[in-house]
Amino acid sequence: MGHALHEMYEVSGLVMGDASYKEYVPTSEELHLLKKEDPQVYETYWEVLCHLHICGQISSWRNRGIKQMFWASYLFNGINEKDSPVTSLAPCIDEEIAERISASTSSYTTESNEDTFKPDIVFESFHHKARVPISGRALLVGFLMLWLKRCVVPTLLHEVIVADVVYPAVLLAHRKSITLLSVMVAGIQSGLRALAKSLCRVEAFVDAEGNPVTDSKSRPLVKTPNPRVELPYT
């Protein structure tokens, strides 16, 4: 079964875009060029990445990422409370930052040439980023990360937000044209294919000795498929 892109555009409102959608962490060389060519995108990327690592340390990492609800709760206070107003992430006080740093590493100094970095370059802890108010653009990126992984290229609810989705969300927040329509259609087709495969799979019940279990008419009892597939619903 095919999906006409122009019809899916009418349904979803997503556009084809100019650049392909990729979830990945840019290399140091790419970031070096990005800092020169588009410093605003570069600054937003680092801001969000710092907050992702802060949230990861607070909530504990899971499969190299953070649970989606933990990320949402970190960015938007009160989102889990029914009768409380939702507010954006507030800056941390120095004592709280110092406590977080004491549980990790305060700084890191390169000892030799590491990637594009020379020796004796000092990297301060990402926790210092929590001292200043988070920008509106970074909050938008955090929301777009959730939107991408829940609506456009969804993952199961127990799966996590990983650093790979930060960069495409940053590009979207800065109004860069990215192909989302074809990604969504590919996700639908892949999900339907997995669904059909699961529904067509016949698995019989067997006893402790591995023999098929039958009913009163000697017909083998089979398990009723109950597959679960995440599909885009933008």
pLDDT in tens, the chain (234 residues): 566 766 666 667 677 778 888 999 999 889 999 999 999 999 999 999 999 999 998 888 887 889 999 999 999 988 888 888 889 999 998 898 888 888 776 566 666 666 666 777 666 788 888 899 999 999 999 999 999 998 888 876 567 899 999 999 999 999 998 988 888 887 777 777 877 887 777 777 787 877 888 878 878 787 777 777 777 775
**H helices present in the chain, as ranges:** 5-12, 28-37, 39-59, 68-75, 94-102, 136-147, 166-173, 181-200
Dist. CA 151–CA 142, nearest whole Å: 14
For 160, other C-beta atoms within 10 Å of its C-beta total 18
What is the helix, strand, coil percentage profile of the chain, to 5? 45, 10, 40
Dist. CA 35–CA 25, nearest whole Å: 15
Which phi-psi region, left, alpha or beta, contains residue 63 (left: φ > 0; alpha: ψ -120 to 50)? left
For 11, other C-beta atoms within 10 Å of its C-beta total 11
Number of H helices, E strands in the chain: 8, 6
Dist. CA 89–CA 75, nearest whole Å: 5
By residue count, the chain amounts to: 234
Structure tokens at 70: 């933990």
**H helices present in 119-180, as ranges:** 136-147, 166-173
